[in-house]
Structure formats: C-alpha cells, structure tokens
Chain A
Amino acid sequence: MTRIGRVLAYVTLLAASAVTVLPLLYMVSLSLQTEAESLAGEPVLVPETPMWGNFVELFERAPFANFIVNSLVVTCGITLSHLLFDPLVGYVFAKFRFPFRDTLFVAVIATMAIPFFVKMIPLYVMMSNLGWLDTYQGLITPFLMDAFGIFLMRQFIQPIPDELIDAARVDGCSELGIYWRVVLPQVKPALAVLGVFTFVFQWNEFLWPLVATSTEGMRTIPVGLTLFSQEYFTIWNLTAAGAVLLFLPTALIFLASQRFFVRGITLTGMK
C-alpha cells in the first residue's frame, strides 16, 4: 500500500470512528453536566465539576431501581432459557432419528421468517386474557427460545462424533446426562456467542416491553427511560444519565468479549 493510501485510510477510519463514538461520549458528558450546561451556551465536552449527583437525582425522580431490576430479571431469564433450550433442541435435531423429524425442524426454522411485530397484537390479547400484562412471565415467555439459536446449536453439535455419544450411552449415562456432560462441554464457545448475543439484544429490546407493561414499576430501562424523557422533556442531563446506565452493561460485555460478539454477527450470516 502506498504511503498516501495508508494516510487516507487512517484519516477516513478516524473520521468514521469520530462519527460513531463522539455522540456517545457526549452522552456521557451530558450525564455529568448541570442543567444550565446541558441546555444553553457553548457546548461542553468536559463538565467543569462532574455532577455525580445527577445519578442520585435520577433515582429520586423515577423508579429507576425498579427499571434496573426488571431489565435484569427479564434479560437474564430469557438468556438462561435460550442457553438451556436452544442447544437441547439443536441436539435432538442433530443426533436423533425419529418420525417427522425433518417436518418439525422446518416448522421451527420457518418461524425465523416471522418478524416479532406480527405477533405483537395477538400476544398482547393473549397476555391480557391470561392476566399476564405487567408481569415478568408476560415479558419473558414470548422469547423463551429462538429458532436461529436452535439452528446455530444444531450446526455446532452435528460434527460431534456419534461414537462419543454412543460410548456414554453404553456406559449407562442417562439421555439428559449425555446432553449435559458430553454434548454441552463440546460447544462451549458457541454457547458463549449465543449467551452474549441474546443478552445484548434482549437488554435493548424496546417494542414488547413497551406494549406489555402499563405501570411504571414494571418497565424495563429502555421503556422507562423513554417515557421518563417524554415526561421531563428538557431534563437532558438526567435522561443522559439514564442512557449511560442502560449502555453500561452492553459496553462492558462488548469490551470483555468483542470476539464473541463479532463472531455472533458473522454467524447470523450463515443462515
């Protein structure tokens, strides 16, 4: 590569990174500004005295502690369920022979073509009939499993040699024991990808928690924060503080496991 080409490449990448990162840095700055700084005058990137109290005030103005607990319960519940069921179902489709297997597999995979919002209205009616609106089970159950996760795990489990599974069976291992002690340990990296990906997407989920909750105490952070900002339209430093709290877990996960996350994205390209 020529010298000029290299310089141009760096300049372009730096400019593009500035576009993606500066708004988020400004959000962090905003979360530490005084109300006056956040509203008028020349914009500040580094507030004179960081207002850590914004984070305290946020919890006083809105039930933010509830939002956080709700988000954690719902997201962790869904992620655990995916980690439990997606590989189990993938294992059955990969390693068992039984009548109607291919029909059932197609019926599962076909659900990938159905976007979530199509189910939004009927699920709302169903949850309302069950009395599950505004409950954790109402927020969690529509996402207990995922066809793509099942497909992915099946792809990873298929190459495990049948001899390994049969040997465990001959040794008297129970079927669930085989799944737990023989199959799962072989696909740990794939599980990590599935876990990271599911957590980040469910943590950010917006439409269903908006539809399925009506009381303030049951909202997740994305929904609670959005409705908070509609109520206190110009209290931007506090809104930004809430956005920082919402972003923190995904940012930490990304820092710790960028590799898994990127791998997850390229795996979606396998479809």
Chain B
Amino acid sequence: MGRTRRRSRRRTLDARRARTAYLMLLPAIAFFVLFTYLPIGNLLTTSAHSGPRADEFTGLGNYTRAFTDPAVRHAFGITVLFAVATTVGALVLGLALALLLNRPLRGRVVFRALLLVPYLTSVAIVGLLWRNILDPELGVLNRLLAALDLPTQQWLITHPLATIIGVMLWQHTGYAMVLFLAGLQGIPEVYHEAATVDGAGPARRFRHVTLPLLAPTTLFVSIISVITGLQAFGQAYIITDGGPAAATDLYVFHVFNVAFEARDFGYSSALSFLLVVVILAFTVVQLRYGRRGEVRY
C-alpha cells in the first residue's frame, strides 16, 4: 500500500521533471525546426520546381540538368581540386609546424599565436589584402620585386586556382597546426622512449609511433578541411570574381550566382542539395578509410 503510493508519487515527480525539461527545450526545438529542418524541406521542394517564381513542377528535372551542365561540372571539378589541395597542404604544413612547436623551444606560445593570426581574420580581410598584394600593376609584391630587379608575377592571371589555394592555406594552416599540436601533446612520452630503446631512429619513430598515434587528429583535420574547402566562397567572390574565364568558379560561388544573379531558385536549390550529398559522401569515405589507419597501443 505504502509502496504503491511512493511509486505513484515518484511517477508524478518524474512527469513533472519531464515537463520542466520539455519547457526548457521548447526554444531549441522551435529553433532547429524553423531554421534547419524546415529550410531543408523547403530546399527539396524548391529543387523540384523551375521558373522565375520556382512554381512550375519539374520533378527531377533540375537534377538531370545539373548532371549535363558543363559549367556545373567544371565548377564541381575545380572545387574538388581546391578542397583536396588545401587539405593536403594544411595537413603537411600544419603537421610540420606542430612538430617544430612541440620541441622545447623558447617563445613557443608566441610563435603559435603568430602562426594562428590569419585564422582570426575575416575572409573579407584575407581577400582584400591578397588582392592588393598580388595585383599585377599596383600590388605591393610586384613593386617589391621590381625594386629588387626581380621578375614580376601575374599569378592571379597565370595560376588563379593555385593562387587562391595558397591564400586559403595562408588562412587555415594555423588551425590544423593547433589541432596537431594538441594531438602531439597527447602522445605519452613513454612510446617514443620505448622505440628509442628498441633502436628506432627519429625517422622510424615518426613513421611508426607518431603518425599512427596521430591518426585520429589527421582524420579530423582532413574531414574538416575538405568540408571547408568544398564550401569556399569568399575567395572566389572577393579575389577573382570566379575568373579569369571561370578558372576559379568555385561551386558555392557558382550556386550563389545561379540563385542571386540568374534568380533561378529551383536550379540553385538542386545544386545546393547535390553538394550536401557530396560532402556527406566525402565524410563517410574518409571515416571508413581513416579508421583503418588508427591504432591503439
């Protein structure tokens, strides 16, 4: 008798606490429904329509159009190249700098800060600054080269994609470096000591101790970097305007123009959705292959 009463009291208490929980969650539920799930539903609906008001139903028409659109294929190709190149670059440079900073050097914190500074800047600053530096006629780099009697450059015209890859690396390498540094500091010293005792030199210790133990960090940095690279927009919008001759027509920049210049919301919605699918596919593949490289000692 007493026990059932206690149990029912407990039940009402649980119910009251559940109600409190729901009340406190209400703003969050409303937010994620209204600003994430509803927009994605709308995106899918819009992507099945065409016309200036996106009100003519075309089914999968926009998607089939995307697969045969040479401009989209070109934009997609250079964007994958951009994402892969910036990822490989950030992995190599970030790890190299982290290895240097992981040594007992004076001023490590200062160097870490200086190397991270570009990551704090807005893409607006990055874009305007590098457009100025690299400008063939008025840019400071060519004025400097001319003053030193060295040949001048026209990289924004001769190697536009490689140039914005470099600018992207300038901004994002510090982020990879900080993550690698944290990863390196998480490797217990005993593994290196044990390998040294077993007669492994620095190169073999790096190959067989450091790299395998860093695998989770490497995996994470490469996933984030690919995702960031596939979504790059400001570099094309600010520095190159997608040119010359669409050489830097990055995918999101292309979609932006289809939506807000051509005002084709149906087609641009389909293009947006396709990139999400690609991003998820990249992530799944990286997770699958990356996990293989992980070890536990």
Write the residues of chain A forming the contact surface with B, with a CB cutoff of 8 angstroms. Answer: 1, 6, 9-10, 12-13, 16-17, 19-21, 23-24, 26-27, 30, 39-43, 85, 88-89, 91-92, 96-99, 101, 104, 107-108, 111, 113-126, 141-142, 144-145, 147, 150, 175-176, 179, 200, 203-207, 210-211, 221-223, 225-226, 229, 234, 236, 239-240, 243, 246-247, 250-251, 254, 258, 261-262, 265-266, 268-269, 271
Q: A125-B42, A236-B138 are in contact. Are A262 and B112 (CB under 8 A)?
A: yes
- The answer to whether B132 touches A98 (Cβ under 8 A) is no
Query: Which residue of chain A is the closest to B176 with respect to CB atoms?
Result: A265
Contact bitstring B11-51, A, C-beta under 8 A = 1, else 0: 00010011011101101110110011111101100100000
Inter-chain CA distance A161–B257, complex, in Å, is 53
What are 24 A-B pairs with beta-carbon distances under 8 A? Answer: A13-B111, A20-B174, A24-B117, A24-B118, A40-B138, A89-B24, A116-B231, A117-B255, A118-B40, A118-B275, A119-B36, A121-B46, A121-B268, A125-B265, A126-B38, A141-B35, A176-B24, A210-B237, A222-B122, A226-B124, A246-B124, A247-B121, A251-B117, A261-B120
Q: A117-B233, A123-B39 are in contact. Are A30 and B179 (CB under 8 A)?
A: no
Q: How far is the CB of A95 from chain B (nearest CB, A)?
A: 9
- The answer to whether A265 touches B175 (Cβ under 8 A) is yes
Q: A120-B272, A121-B43 are in contact. Are A96 and B231 (CB under 8 A)?
A: no
Chain A residues near B120 (CB-CB < 8 A): 200, 204, 247, 250-251, 254, 261
Residue B245, interface by CB 8 Å: no
Chain A residues near B109 (CB-CB < 8 A): 258
Which one of B42, B132, B273 lies within 8 Å of A126 (CB-CB)? B42
- The answer to whether A89 touches B28 (Cβ under 8 A) is yes
Select the stretch in B64-72, B99-107, B152-160 that faces chain A.
B99-107
Which one of A23, A225, A240, A254 lies within 8 Å of B124 (CB-CB)? A225
Query: Which residue of chain B is the closest to A267 with respect to CB atoms?
Result: B182
Which one of B117, B122, B259 lies within 8 Å of A206 (CB-CB)? B122
Inter-chain CA distance A116–B256, complex, in Å, is 13
- The answer to whether B115 touches A20 (Cβ under 8 A) is yes
Q: How far is the CB of B26 from chain A (nearest CB, A)?
A: 10
Q: How far is the CB of A170 from chain B (nearest CB, A)?
A: 12
Q: How far is the CB of B30 from chain A (nearest CB, A)?
A: 10
Inter-chain CA distance A124–B258, complex, in Å, is 14
Inter-chain CA distance A240–B132, complex, in Å, is 9
Chain B residues near A92 (CB-CB < 8 A): 21, 24-25
Chain B residues near A262 (CB-CB < 8 A): 112, 116, 178
Which one of A30, A104, A119, A229 lies within 8 Å of B40 (CB-CB)? A119
Chain A residues near B76 (CB-CB < 8 A): none
Select the stretch in B82-90, B139-147, B190-198 that faces chain A.
B139-147
Which one of A40, A119, A175, A179 lies within 8 Å of B39 (CB-CB)? A119
